[in-house]
Amino acid sequence: MTTPSVRRPGPASSRTTPPEGAAAPVATGPDPRHTTERMMDFQGCFGCGADAADGLRVAHRDVTGHEVRTEFTVREAHQGAPGLAHGGLLATAMDETLGSVAWHLGKRCVTGRLETDYLAPVPVGGVLHLRGWCTGVHGRKVYVEGEGRIGGPDGPVAIRAAGLFVEVPEEHFTRDRTAEARPAAAGAEG
Ligand SMILES: CCCCC/C=C\C/C=C\C/C=C\C/C=C\CCCC(=O)SCCNC(=O)CCNC(=O)[C@H](O)C(C)(C)COP(=O)(O)OP(=O)(O)OC[C@H]1O[C@@H](n2cnc3c(N)ncnc32)[C@H](O)[C@@H]1OP(=O)(O)O
């Protein structure tokens, strides 16, 4: 057990806390059946992709067991209030980190729920050091928590989060959803 560095309770709600009977995570590494070329070579991800011109470029640094470490360098384009990072983008960097925890457990998952606590502002020019780890697995559900520190990996905690990731079939990513995305009226035309 790590000692919480802030006086607030943990970030997880009942929906992001593993239920009774959840299994401990088993760090298998990414499942080769899921790591198709299409997925692995994809650089368009807003969170981490090199080809996402306006993306966050979250850098994946280290994986140890079921714990993942990443870094997010906050640039001017990420501001909410002047000089400070926008909270939604900090949540995105966290989503990226927690999602990759599930991936390294060999699970093909999407974010079902993401809860965030903001504890301190993150300044432009700073680096947010993120860490995510799995708290349990129950059926298709993978429970993950994380934190982001400023000024270094052991600096003060600026953001904490808890997420629920849900395993999906490959078809989730390959299905043609063009019709679903169209407005209902336009979709009704043959
Ligand atoms: C994710 C990208 C992967 C791409 C991989 C590419 C390269 C790989 C390399 C590295 C990977 C690195 C990092 C990963 C990166 C990024 C992370 C970003 C991830 C995202 O940015 S991803 C986009 C946003 N995300 C969505 O776009 C999801 C939209 N959504 C749905 O697609 C459905 O909603 C779905 C599938 C979630 C569930 O739908 P479904 O029909 O399959 O299943 P169902 O509803 O039955 O839920 C099953 C059980 O989950 C419980 N459950 C579900 N949702 C819950 C909630 N909100 N709260 C509490 N419990 C919930 C139910 O209660 C039930 O629980 P129970 O089994 O106990 O009944």
Q: Give Cβ neighbours of residue 143 (< 8 Å, ≥ 6 apart).
A: 12, 16, 17, 18, 22, 134, 135, 136, 137, 162, 163, 164, 165
Provide the residue ranges of all domains of the chain, joining segments of one domain with +.
Answer: 26-175
Choose which CATH entry (3.40.50.170, 3.30.230.10, 3.30.300.20, 3.10.129.10) describes domain 26-175: 3.10.129.10
CA of 76 to the centre of ligand 1 (A): 31
Query: Average pLDDT of 148-175?
Result: 96
User: Ligand 1 pocket: which residues have CB below 6 Å?
Assistant: 15, 39-40, 42, 47, 95-96, 99-100, 103, 110-113, 139-141, 164, 166, 168
Whether residue 189 is predicted with pLDDT greater than 70 in this model: the reply is no
| Mean of pLDDT over the chain | 91
Cβ–Cβ under 8 Å, residues 102 and 166: no
- pLDDT tens digits, residue range 106-158? 999 999 999 999 999 999 999 999 999 999 999 999 999 999 999 999 999 99
Q: Give yes or no for a contact between 80 and 87, defined as CB atoms under 8 angstroms apart.
A: yes
